Each structure stands twice: as structure tokens, then as C-alpha cells.
Structure 1
């Protein structure tokens, strides 16, 4: 049994958290109400390599286990490279929508040419179908990789149980371990609360979408087919609808949703603070273990799994987002072809349609910018952040390994401090 944690207890927790990965797609809410939701990818992507590096250094005296970490880090690096390419496709498709699809739809509306509109809608649907398939493939790879990381962590714990000797804990180490155990229990409890709020938010979003759908049937059918972001649609409804009843219903639902989101946001901030405290205390414990000539913890590998799982969840959100956009374009194309939308000279709808194109351009531009920011982060991670794999920690002296560990720890501490600001 490891001196700094109960391996059997961590094995149980690992089993629970790995099961949670399998279910993560069921817990994803529709976060695409705003074009900037994709930026939630960035913190997880930036921390993953640092956490891998710490795990790698921890196992410098265990070449076989070092090889397990190395393989996982290499697979993550490759996966981040594929994610970089996918995000670039998302950005390029957004740009194509802004510079190609929307202007041509505007021309079709002004000149009353439904066949022209249908032609460009078909082209856009082709782009979107391609990136939906690409996105599904990446999500599958993350799912498999997360499972592999869980198995690797379990294998490492098992191997360390077999090879480690009973080691003495100082009173300071015991006190840190008590703090860590308490934080883990708090983290488990708050994670369950966040999942509950996730479901509540999805319920509220569904109510809002259903209300918007009922309103669409009369005044906003065209606008909602062009603009993919719910907040833009709601803003348009407030500006243009004359129905006080409909406005009041939306305001009430938005107030409930806002209250629920704020409650979850506070919990997420608390969860982040607990995660930061956990990492800080585990790094302190690792320093004490080194000073006492003991084996370092590999808890950072479990944190890698959590970060990869979060990335997977956001990529699932993106996949759902593109599927909804594709569905909207299909609906618009079908109604255009049937003459349901492009009725003779579009007298009653032309102004609304042109307004929707302006709003869509603004939303898609913001979304494309967010995609490029994420693309740049994944590019740095895929091309530079994993260079530590070029040097085997077993080739370093104990002093060199500890010095490198402290350097990486400081970089991770900086990320933690920035996340608190």
C-alpha cells in the first residue's frame, strides 16, 4: 500500500470516474446559445501536457511505467493535432458561410430567385455534412483514448502496489493526506450537484426552444432558420414582436434559466477552486515525498483524464451544434424548393430575411474567431508542448529530475493562478 494514498481507495474512485466518461455525452447540455462557447476548450488543452509531464517525471525510476505514460502522451499529442485540423475546418466553414452562403442568399432574396438560394444551400449542407463526419470520428477517438488513459492509470496503481515498500509518513505528510482526502470528498459531492444543474439547464433550454418554435410558426420562422444562436433569436423577438404575452413568457423562462446558470456557475467556480487546492496540496505532498526519498504520486495522470474528458464533452457539443445547423439548412432548402418560403416577390418576408442574414453574419463571424483561437492553442500544444518526451526521465539524475519537476510545477501553478483571476 502506498504511503501517500490508499491505492485500493483510489482504484474505486478511478473506476467511478472512468464510468462517468462513458456517460459524458448524456450530460452535455445545449451550450451553443452563444458563439463563444467553444472557448471552454482552452483551459483543458493548455493544462494537459503539463500534467502529463509531471506524471512522466514521477516514474523516472520505473522504465516500464514510464513507457505507459509516454505512449499515452504521444496519443494525446496526435489527437490534439487532429483537433487542431478539425477546428480549422470549423473556422473555414464559418468563413464560407459568411463570405459565400449568406451573401448569395441575400442576392437570391433581393432578386427573388429561389433556385439560386437552393443551389447555395445544397453546397453549404455538403460542407456541414463533411465536418459532422470528421467531428464524429474525433469524438470516437477521444472516447477510446480516455478509456485507455483510465486503464493505464489503473495498471500503474496495480504495479505500484506490487513493487512499493512500506514507507514512513511524517506528521506533515499525514496532515496533507487528510486535507487531500477531504477535498476529494467535497469534489465528488459538488460534481454531482453540477450534473443535476446541467440537467435543469437543458430542461430550461428545451422550454425556451419550444416557446420559440411556437412563435416561429407565425412571425420568426425565417429568422430562426438562418440564425443558429438562440440568444440572437431571442434578441430579435424582443425587438420585433408586438405580443406582450410572448415577451413576458420568454423573460420569465430566461430569468429562470439565468438563475439556474448562475447557480451552476458558482458551483463550477467552487469546483475549480477545489481542483486547484487538490493539485496544490498534491504537489506539496509530492515535494515532501521527494525530500523523504519516497515515490512520487501519479495523481496528475487522473487529472489528465478529467481534462481529456472535458475536451470530449465540448466536442460533442460542437457536433450537436453542426447537426442542428445542417437540419435548419435542410428545412430552409425544402421549403424554398416547395415554394413555401420564396413566395411571389417575398413582399412580407424580405425585410425579416435580410435582417436574419445580418444577424447570422455577426454570429458566424464571432464563432469563426473563437474556432481560430482554439485552433491556435491546439496547434501550440500539438507542436511544442510535448517536446519533453524527447528526453527519458530515467536518464536524468535524481537532482535533475527534481529540478525539472519544480520547473513544470511552477508553470502549472501559474495556470492555476490565472484561472482564479
Structure 2
């Protein structure tokens, strides 16, 4: 019957001799060493995962005062945290599948081959194929999710750039508005001083003309009625006394001057009030503009956020490549395990080759599962502990605490080393 067999068909027969056994062992060891799934394959996982969380933390820290961006970074960070959690779950699935193949299915398959039971062997092979296809689909889904997350972070980066642009424009607009208001306030203050100066001058002239009129009336009164009559208010004198034409003309002239000056004074008072009203309005607008300018956060840290997000995008691309390589490795293991062969009813002629193939395949899958377990531990730590900073509102931090956190993040970023760091390296 036709079937895809879950083995590598060895070229040499499996002979029960010490020499052949040693040769087979050497062949299997070389095959395992040649497997692309090696510790170096996950060497960058830990530093990449650590950097991702730290860069999110730095971005989040720099967004105090930008509620919209703070929310977006929080969302992207939580999505990445959940993505790491899903990565852990898929790697555990890889570990579980590898373990089940090596410890359960392969031994049963070997017994079926040894006992010449092709139907049972077919059943086990199809079961293995189902398991492998299942984890391949899960890995393919992870590749898509990392790609989607990368696009999401790219969109967030674009939002940060736009917010930075709008904030700078807003700052410039408010600065220009404040400058314009300050100039307008100064102009009105100068105008008010000029009006006050004119009012003072007009009042002095009024006082002067009033004094002249009083003196004129008194002179007329003394001449016509004597010194006692001068004690009577001048308006009574004007009403009761008949003046000479020249005296009356001067009196009329002085009164006209006073009337005109009072009219000018009233006009100046109205103007003074109008200027005061406009000045008060502008001063309130200027005060409001200063308050608003103080509320507008400085965009200086948005450059850091943008750079952090760009680096996160690069790391997500690396992690996507990691999952693509997981998929490639799985496909390679599948091809090394499933070969188009005819499994005849009588297994005697190929029994030794099939048994040797099962043993070799088991070595590959055991190696794959071991490395998946290490990678799973990395994603587990990051998804569980690395995003606790999201519980703190960055705008609530004092300047000293803010700087302390920033220094701590930068120190951690500087200490991450892909190869030499004991935390970054994953050894046998």
C-alpha cells in the first residue's frame, strides 16, 4: 500500500554487529549535529525579547502628558506581551509533540514494523503526520501574527510622528499667539498712558481756565459791589450783575473754553475706559494662552519614542524570522521523516532500514523539542514579568523618579550582549 513513511531511509542495512552499530551511532550523531535547530538558532531570542520590553518601557516613560500616545503604546506593549505568551504556548506545543513522537509514537511504530503489521504502522504514521501538520499550522499563524504586530507598531510610529508634528505646530502657534498678544497688550498700555497724559493735561487746562474765570468774576464783583459781594458765588454774580460788554465777552469765552475742555475730558474718559476694557480682555487671553502653553507637553522625548518603536519593529522582524525558521525546520523534519515509499505487506526486506530510520528521526525530534523548551522559557519570562511597568502612570512620576527609571532602562539596554552576556547566551 502507498503511504508517506515517517523516517529517513538509511542506505546501509541495520546489521547486529558492534562495528555497524558504532557506525550507525556516528551517523546519527552527525545527523543531529547537522540539524539547523541548534542553540545558536535561539541565541538572539533572549536579548531580543529583553530589548523589546525595555524599549516599550522607555517609550511609555517618555509619553507623560500625551494621553493618546500613551494609550497607543500601552496597547502595542500589551499586544506584544500576549504575542510572547502565544509564542510560549506554540513552543510548548512543539515540545509536547516532539516528546510524544519520541517517547510514544515512534516506539509503537517500531514495534509495528518489527511485528510486520503494516496496517498498524500506517495508522501510527498518519497520526504522526496529523500532529506535525497541526504544529506547522500553529507556527505559520505565529509568523502572520508577528507580521501583523510589526505593521501595528509601524502605524503607532506614524502616529507618534504625526503627534510630534502637531505638538510642535501647536507650540509654535501658541508662541506666536502669545507674542502677538504681548505686543497688543504693550500697545494698549502705551495708548492708555497717552490717554492718561492727555487727560492730565486737559484737567490742568480746565483747572487753569476755571481759576482764570474765578479771578475774572471776582474782579468784576469787587469793582461793582465791593469786597463783600465778592464772597457771593460767582454764578450768582453772573446772574445778578450786569457786566460791561468786554467783561461779558471774556466771561463767555472762558466758559466756552471750560465747556470744550470738559467735553474733551469726557471723551478721554470714555476712551480710557474702552482701552481698559480691551486691555483687560487681552491680558486674560494672554494669561489663558500661557496656561495652555504650560499644559502642552514638550515633544522633545517623542524622538526617543519614535526611535524605540523603529527598533522594536526591527526586533519583531527578527522574531518573525525566528518563527519562519521554526517553520522551515519543521518542514525539513517532516520531509526527512515522510518519504514517498511503498510499504509492502511483507516488511522483512526493509525492516532494518525502517527501524534505523525511526531511531534517526527520533534523534532529530528530541533535539528540536529540547531547543523549543529553552525558547519557551525565554518567552515565558518576558510575557510574565517584563511589562509590569504598564501598571504605572508615567505622568505621575516626579522628575527625580522619572530620571531614575530612565537611567535604569538605559543601563539595562547597554548591558544586554547577544554573545558574551551570561544572560544573553544560551549554551548547551
Q: Work out the CA distance in 2 between the residues paired with 1:394 and 1:100.
A: 55
Q: Which residue of 2 aligns with 1:345?
A: 348
CA distance in structure 2 between the partners assigned to 1:416 and 1:293 by the alignment: 31
Give the whole-Å Cα distance in 2 for the aligned partners of 1:329 and 1:39: 23
**1:142 — aligned with what?**
146
Q: Equivalents in 2 of 1:322, 1:418: separation in Å?
A: 26
CA deviation digits over 1:260-311, x for unaligned, max 9? xxxxxxxxxxxxxxxxxxxxxxxxxxxxxxxx99536221211111111111
CA contact 2:37–2:367 (8 Å) conserved in 1: no
- Please name the residue that 1:133 is paired with: 137
The CA distance in 2 between the partners of 1:364 and 1:417, in whole Å, is 27
Q: CA RMSD in A?
A: 2.6
Correspondence 1:413 to 2:417: no
Task: Tell me which structure has the larger Cα radius of gyration.
Answer: 2
Inter-partner Cα distance in structure 2 for 1:413 and 1:343: 64
Aligned to 2:386: 385
Is the counterpart of residue 66 in structure 1 residue 75 in structure 2?
A: no
Displacement, 1:47?
A: 1.9
2:81 pairs, out of 77, 81, 94, with: 77
Describe the shift of the 1:35–1:111 C-alpha distance in structure 2 as closer, same or farther (beyond 3 A). farther
Q: Which runs of 5+ in 2 are unaligned?
A: 1-33, 173-297, 423-428
How do 1:258-269 and structure 2 match up within 5 A?
none
Is residue 318 from structure 1 mapped to residue 335 from structure 2 by the alignment?
Answer: no
Pair 304,344 (structure 1): closer, same or farther in 2 beyond 3 Å: closer
Residues 177-196 of structure 1, C-alpha deviation per residue, up to 9 Å, x if partnerless?
A: xxxxxxxxxxxxxxxxxxxx
The one-character-per-residue Cα deviations of 1:177-220 (angstroms, maximum 9, x if unpaired) are xxxxxxxxxxxxxxxxxxxxxxxxxxxxxxxxxxxxxxxxxxxx
CA distance in 2 between counterparts of 1:34 and 1:383 reads: 26
* Cα displacement string for residues 70-114 of structure 1 (whole angstroms, at most 9, x for unaligned residues): 111011011111111000000001101111222122222322222
Quote how far apart the aligned CAs of 1:38 are: 4.7
- Is 2:105–2:128's contact at 8 Å kept on the other side of the alignment? yes
TM-score by length of 2: 0.55
Partner Cα separation in structure 2 for residue 355 and residue 146 of structure 1: 44
Q: 2:122 — aligned with what? A: 118
C-alpha spacing 1:293/1:399, structure 2 compared with 1 (3 Å): farther
Aligned to 1:335: 342
Pair 1:37–1:86, CA change in 2 (3 A): farther
Mapping of 1:9-408 within 5 angstroms?
33-36=36-39, 38-40=41-43, 41-164=45-168, 294-295=300-301, 297-298=304-305, 299-327=307-335, 329-331=337-339, 335-336=342-343, 339=344, 343-346=346-349, 349-408=350-409
Aligned-partner Cα distance in 1 for 2:299–2:134:
54
Paired residue secondary structure (2:78): helix
Name stretches of at least 5 consecutive residues in structure 1 with no aligned partner.
1-30, 167-291
Give the distance between the partners of 1:317 and 1:82, measured in 2 at CA.
17
Contact 1:35 1:364 in 2 (8 A): no
Q: Conserved in 1, the CA contact under 8 Å of 2:112 and 2:121?
A: yes
Distance 1:79 1:34 in 2: 22
Counterparts of 2:347 and 2:353 in 1: how far apart (Å)?
16
CA distance in 2, matches of 1:150, 1:406: 26
Looking at both structures, which has the greater relative contact order when contacts are Cα pairs under 8 Å and sequence separation is at least 6? 2
